[in-house]
């Protein structure tokens, strides 16, 4: 939801930078790979070792590159099918790395089994949120509903993680609880939306 509403504002910041990168020969796929590798490395090297603030900060920087690859693709006349698949794959890898890093930290030195469970459930629900939409669109059905999409998911988990790293108590706890509820609602919304759309469409066997 936030991702769609914020696009005009984001475009004003991202498009000039994308134009400069395009002039020096940077491609959308290069940006996607850099952002994914950076986000995964930051999560594994910082968040998983308990450096929560700097981990959240570094991941945020690399995740923001995700806005640049789309802008670059548009400047080059549109993205490729491979680029779209690579971008989606990178998003899933980065998301998994963030929650996996939290699970690793809180199952070890962080020592909080409840947060391990919350992070695991949020990871699973995040995967389901993306899968339902991808599967529905693959069947020719619209599935654009949901109170918590990727933008909201990243804001919640990274802000909560960063604030916890700054010593604010229960920040990540609150963030994961809110994310858990919101993600569960989103999964239900998407299942119902697909059910309604499928009722008026012929599904190939």
Helix (H) or strand (E) holding 199, with range, is helix 171-199
Which residue from 66, 62, 76 is spatially nearest to 27, judged by alpha carbons?
Answer: 76
Residues present in the chain in total: 205
* Residue 74 labelled as part of a binding site: yes
* Residue 70 labelled as part of a binding site: yes
* Residue 80 labelled as part of a binding site: yes
CA distance 158 to 111: 19
Active-site position among 91, 112, 144, 173: 91
* Residue 173 labelled as part of a binding site: no
CB 31 within 8 A of CB 65: yes
* Residue 32 labelled as part of a binding site: yes
Cβ atoms within 10 Å of 128's Cβ, excluding its own = 16
The set of residues, in sequence order, having a beta carbon less than 8 Å from that of 102 and lying 6+ positions away, is 47, 115, 119, 157, 161, 172
* Residue 31 labelled as part of a binding site: yes
* Residue 95 labelled as part of a binding site: no
Which residue from 15, 41, 62, 42 is spatially nearest to 165, judged by alpha carbons?
Answer: 42
CA distance 16 to 105: 38
Instruction: Judge whether 112 counts as a catalytic residue.
Output: no
* Residue 111 labelled as part of a binding site: no
Q: Give the catalytic positions in this structure.
A: 91
Q: Which residues are annotated as a binding site for a CDP-1,2-diacyl-sn-glycerol?
A: 29-32, 70, 74, 80
What residue numbers does the annotated binding site cover? Answer: 29-32, 66, 69-70, 74, 80, 87, 91
Give the residue numbers of the binding site for Mg(2+).
66, 69, 87, 91
């Amino acid at each position: 939801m936030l991702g769609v509403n914020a696009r005009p504002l984001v475009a004003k910041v991202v498009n000039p930078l994308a134009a400069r990168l395009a002039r020096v020969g940077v491609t959308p796929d290069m940006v996607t790979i850099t952002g994914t590798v950076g986000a995964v490395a930051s999560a594994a090297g910082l968040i998983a070792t308990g450096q929560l603030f700097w981990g959240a900060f570094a991941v945020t920087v690399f995740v923001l590159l995700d806005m640049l690859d789309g802008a670059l693709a548009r400047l080059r006349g549109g993205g490729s099918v491979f680029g779209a698949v690579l971008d989606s794959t990178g998003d899933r890898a980065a998301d998994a790395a963030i929650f996996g890093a939290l699970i690793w930290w809180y199952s070890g030195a962080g020592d909080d089994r409840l947060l391990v469970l919350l992070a695991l459930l949020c990871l699973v629900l995040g995967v389901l949120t993306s899968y339902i939409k991808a599967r529905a669109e693959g069947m020719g059905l619209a599935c654009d509903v949901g109170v918590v999409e990727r933008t909201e998911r990243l804001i919640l988990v990274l802000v909560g993680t960063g604030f916890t790293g700054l010593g604010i108590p229960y920040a990540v706890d609150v963030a994961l609880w809110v994310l858990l509820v919101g993600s569960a609602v989103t999964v239900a919304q998407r299942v119902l939306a697909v059910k309604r759309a499928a009722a008026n469409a012929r599904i190939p066997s």
